[in-house]
């Protein structure tokens, strides 16, 4: 298939052995198309800049853009401005938009989780008739990170000072999600520098970055509504915020689980902690009821016991189940799974809802602490990962009804009993999946790009996690099925954990993959 755009490299690439001279770039007025062999020239240009690209990621990691801590609000803005400075050099027009949010615990303190919206000017000298037909690619990512302290078990003294060691780039955000963001910037930089202004870009490109993804994307839907014109011409959406299942096999992701998140508070009929020897026995203990309620929602095999919760779950049909057998999958947490079958592991990760208890506040929390008290208040948090076609609002009601029934039974006949408060901590996110990825242009282009970079057929995978932006962005763009998750890291990178890392090889190959993806996607538009 022929595309306009790429001949400028064709005309001078024979003089590149590899040379970094770009004095003649931008003078070619007749951009046509790039032959396969000239992608290798661009890949060599990426390798040539390796140290520069690694240093760029180190600068990104050094900005502690922790969205869960209010003291880092300024760092969130600084992270976007740092990215914007690079986009300036690439010819992007960009602006920062903030939703109207406030800190509920202190109404006088305004919390902002800003977004960056940018678009790249079209190449100057491509035929205008062709320009009018150009498709638009939206790149989505996030630049906020979860909190990290050396005292939590990091090997390096400061998680925000990236270490380059034994082929890995170590630091908070290297794989989630600053590494992928910088890889996109690197790929665009090579295209810009090697092709010149007259031939860059090959298709219209927009970029959308957020600073609150790690805390549930506050304000995202407001921005999508307020800035609807920015999204109404998007043809393709690519997201790089997930992981491959192995260190050696790339994958393309076509599904995510959704999520609902709850807090469960049990208060005793007494106002302070009590001595268990003095009062234990006739007291309705909040921690005991909390444990009972949490344990009553799921059985020993992980099956959720809440009535009707599986009624809307789509069945796992045999063709999909059979496809799991060929997927390359390494157990990145040896000994963690209680099922032995790979198919069952993947199905439990991707295709069935799961309930997880995340923590309990109000009980013993200090290491080595021994207290024989009865806590007067217990706050626990749990979530349910949703799958197609579960509705978050219906699941919330099922959870509430079930727990209220259990609580009523627990307190029945007690003169002074505990009280229960159940809260949903966000509105809930639908599961997302592409029903026919192999015949979708964003996946077809990605598969070709993977073959060019890795020489392998990619696995088609789902993901057990939740990315609200994928759901809401797919609803905001004209072609909701033209959405793909294109990962470069792997599941053992330690995202959200201690010693987060990204291998240099995956960082560089990921940059090549993104460049090749832009090229392949440009071929679909004419």
Domain-by-domain residue ranges, the chain?
7-256+431-522, 260-313+352-424
Give, in words, the CATH class of 7-256+431-522.
Answer: alpha beta
Q: Is 213 a catalytic residue?
A: yes
CA atoms within 13 A on the CB side of 56: 24
SS3 of 444, please?
helix
Say how far apart CA 219 and CA 99 lie, in whole Å. Answer: 5
- Give Cβ neighbours of residue 475 (< 8 Å, ≥ 6 apart): none
Please tell me the predicted confidence (pLDDT) of residue 366.
Answer: 74
Please tell me the predicted confidence (pLDDT) of residue 331.
Answer: 66
CATH hierarchy code of domain 260-313+352-424: 3.30.70.360
Please tell me the predicted confidence (pLDDT) of residue 195.
Answer: 78
Please tell me the predicted confidence (pLDDT) of residue 168.
Answer: 98
For 188, phi then psi, to 5°, come to -65, -35
Please tell me the predicted confidence (pLDDT) of residue 525.
Answer: 57
Most confident of 10-19, 257-266, 490-499: 257-266
Indicate the range of 133-137, 160-164, 244-248, 439-443 predicted with least confidence.
133-137
Reported as a pLDDT band with limits 50, 70 and 90, residue 508 is: very high
pLDDT: is 490 or 7 the higher one? 490
User: Are 219 and 101 a contacting pair, CB within 8 Å?
Assistant: yes
Question: Quick one: which of 20, 58, 118, 462 has its CA closest to 257?
Answer: 462
% of the chain exceeding 70 in pLDDT:
87
3-state helix, strand, coil in the chain (%, to 5): 35, 20, 45
Say how far apart CA 487 and CA 205 lie, in whole Å. Answer: 19
List pLDDT tens digits, range 5-58: 344 443 333 333 344 444 434 333 345 445 555 788 899 999 999 999 999 999
| Crossing angle between the packed helical segments 50-61 and 178-195, to the nearest 10 degrees | 140
Which pair of tokens denotes residue 137? 């690619």
List pLDDT tens digits, range 411-429: 999 999 999 999 999 889 9
| Crossing angle between the packed helical segments 441-454 and 504-522, to the nearest 10 degrees | 130
User: Are 264 and 417 a contacting pair, CB within 8 Å?
Assistant: no
Q: Is 164 left (phi over 0), alpha (psi -120 to 50) or beta?
A: beta
| Radius of gyration from C-alpha coordinates of the chain | 26
- The β-bridge relationship of strands 251-256 and 459-463 is parallel
Catalytic residue chosen out of the listed positions 144, 241, 265, 463: 144
- The DSSP-derived string for 482-507 is -EEE---EETTS-TTSTT-EEEHHHH
How many residues in total does the chain contain? 526
Please tell me the predicted confidence (pLDDT) of residue 526.
Answer: 47
- Give Cβ neighbours of residue 493 (< 8 Å, ≥ 6 apart): 174, 175, 176, 243, 500, 501, 502
Q: Is 144 a catalytic residue?
A: yes
SS3 of 122, please?
coil
Q: State yes or no: pLDDT of 196 exceeds 80.
A: no
Say how far apart CA 416 and CA 239 lie, in whole Å. Answer: 53
Indicate the range of 11-15, 27-31, 78-82, 503-507 predicted with least confidence.
11-15
Q: How far is CA 436 from CA 254, 268, 312, 318, 483, in A?
A: 9, 52, 20, 16, 11
Indicate the range of 1-15, 54-68, 236-250, 418-432 predicted with least confidence.
1-15
Question: Quick one: which of 411, 102, 77, 84 has its CA closest to 266?
Answer: 411
**13-37: string of b/e by CB count within 10 Å (b at 16+)?**
beebeeeeeeeebbebeebbbbeee
Say how far apart CA 93 and CA 83 lie, in whole Å. Answer: 12
92 bridge partner residues = 120
Q: Is 525 left (phi over 0), alpha (psi -120 to 50) or beta?
A: alpha
The residue written with tokens 């001078």 in the block is 12
Please tell me the predicted confidence (pLDDT) of residue 363.
Answer: 82
Say how far apart CA 379 and CA 376 lie, in whole Å. Answer: 10
Which pair of tokens denotes residue 200? 């860059």
User: Are 256 and 470 a contacting pair, CB within 8 Å?
Assistant: yes
Q: State yes or no: pLDDT of 338 exceeds 90.
A: no
Q: State yes or no: pLDDT of 213 exceeds 90.
A: yes
- Name the strand (E) or helix (H) holding 194: helix 178-195
Q: State yes or no: pLDDT of 391 exceeds 80.
A: yes
Please tell me the predicted confidence (pLDDT) of residue 369.
Answer: 79
Span between the terminal Cα atoms of the chain, in Å: 8
List pLDDT tens digits, range 92-135: 999 999 998 655 444 434 678 999 999 986 654 444 444 456 78
Indicate the range of 62-71, 163-172, 325-334, 428-437 predicted with least confidence.
325-334
Question: Quick one: which of 310, 101, 348, 365 has its CA closest to 218?
Answer: 101
Say how far apart CA 349 and CA 463 lie, in whole Å. Answer: 7
% of the chain exceeding 90 in pLDDT:
73
Please state the rounded mean pLDDT for residues 280-293: 96
Indicate the range of 17-26, 293-302, 364-373, 452-461 predicted with least confidence.
17-26
Catalytic residue chosen out of the listed positions 75, 163, 210, 213: 213
Which pair of tokens denotes residue 165? 């060691």
Please tell me the predicted confidence (pLDDT) of residue 332.
Answer: 63
CA dihedral 431, 434, 436, 441 (to 10 degrees): 180
Mean pLDDT of the chain: 88
Most distant CA pair in the chain, distance = 89
Please tell me the predicted confidence (pLDDT) of residue 9.
Answer: 40
List pLDDT tens digits, range 355-377: 999 999 998 777 777 789 999 99
Q: State yes or no: pLDDT of 347 exceeds 50.
A: yes
Q: Do domains 7-256+431-522 and 260-313+352-424 have the same CATH topology?
A: no
Say how far apart CA 448 and CA 439 lie, in whole Å. Answer: 13
Please state the rounded mean pLDDT for residues 389-397: 97
């Amino acid at each position: 298939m022929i595309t306009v755009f790429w001949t400028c490299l064709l005309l001078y690439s024979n003089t590149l052995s590899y040379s970094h001279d770009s004095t003649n770039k931008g003078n070619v007025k007749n951009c046509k198309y790039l032959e396969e062999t000239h992608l290798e020239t661009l890949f060599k240009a990426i390798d040539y800049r390796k140290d520069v690209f690694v240093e760029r990621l180190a600068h990104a990691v050094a900005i502690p853009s922790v969205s869960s801590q209010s003291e880092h609000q300024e760092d969130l803005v600084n992270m976007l401005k740092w990215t914007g400075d690079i986009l300036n050099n690439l010819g992007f027009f960009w602006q920062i938009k903030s939703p109207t949010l406030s800190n509920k615990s202190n109404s006088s303190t305004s919390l902002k989780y800003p977004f960056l919206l940018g678009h790249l000017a079209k190449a100057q000298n491509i035929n205008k008739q062709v320009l009018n037909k150009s498709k638009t690619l939206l790149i989505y990512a996030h630049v906020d990170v979860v909190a990290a302290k050396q005292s939590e078990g990091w090997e390096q003294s400061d998680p925000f000072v990236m270490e380059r060691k034994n082929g890995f780039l170590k630091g908070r955000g290297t794989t989630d999600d600053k590494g992928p963001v910088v890889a996109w910037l690197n790929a665009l930089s090579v295209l810009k520098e090697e092709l010149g202004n007259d031939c860059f870009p090959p298709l219209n490109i927009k970029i959308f970055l957020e600073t609150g993804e790690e805390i549930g994307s506050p304000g995202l839907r407001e921005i999508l509504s307020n800035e609807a014109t920015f999204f109404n011409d998007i043809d393709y959406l690519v997201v790089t915020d997930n992981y491959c299942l192995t260190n050696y096999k790339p994958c393309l992701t076509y599904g995510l689980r959704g999520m609902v998140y709850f807090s469960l508070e049990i208060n005793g009929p007494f106002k302070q902690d009590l001595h268990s020897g003095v009062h234990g026995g006739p007291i309705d203990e909040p921690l005991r009821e909390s444990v009972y309620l949490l344990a009553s929602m799921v059985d020993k095999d992980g099956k959720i016991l809440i009535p009707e919760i599986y009624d809307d779950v789509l069945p796992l049909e045999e063709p999909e189940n059979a496809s799991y057998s060929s997927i390359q999958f390494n157990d990145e947490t040896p000994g963690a799974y209680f099922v032995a079958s790979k198919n069952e592991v993947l199905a439990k990760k991707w295709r069935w809802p799961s309930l997880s208890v995340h923590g309990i506040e109000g009980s013993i929390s200090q290491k080595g602490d021994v207290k024989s008290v009865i806590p007067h208040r217990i706050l626990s948090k749990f979530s349910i990962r949703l799958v197609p076609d579960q509705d978050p609002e219906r699941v919330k009601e099922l959870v509430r009804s079930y727990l209220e029934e259990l609580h009523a039974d627990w307190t029945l006949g007690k003169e002074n009993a505990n009280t229960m408060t159940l809260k949903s901590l966000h509105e809930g996110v639908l599961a997302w999946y592409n029903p026919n990825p192999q015949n979708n242009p964003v996946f077809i282009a990605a598969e070709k790009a993977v073959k060019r970079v890795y020489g392998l057929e990619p696995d088609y995978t789902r993901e057990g996690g939740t990315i609200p932006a994928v759901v809401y962005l797919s609803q905001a763009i004209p072609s909701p099925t033209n959405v793909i998750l294109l990962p470069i890291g792997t599941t053992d990178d330690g995202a959200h954990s201690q010693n987060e890392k990204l291998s240099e090889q995956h960082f560089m190959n990921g940059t090549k993959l993104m460049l090749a993806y832009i090229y392949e996607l440009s071929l679909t538009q004419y």
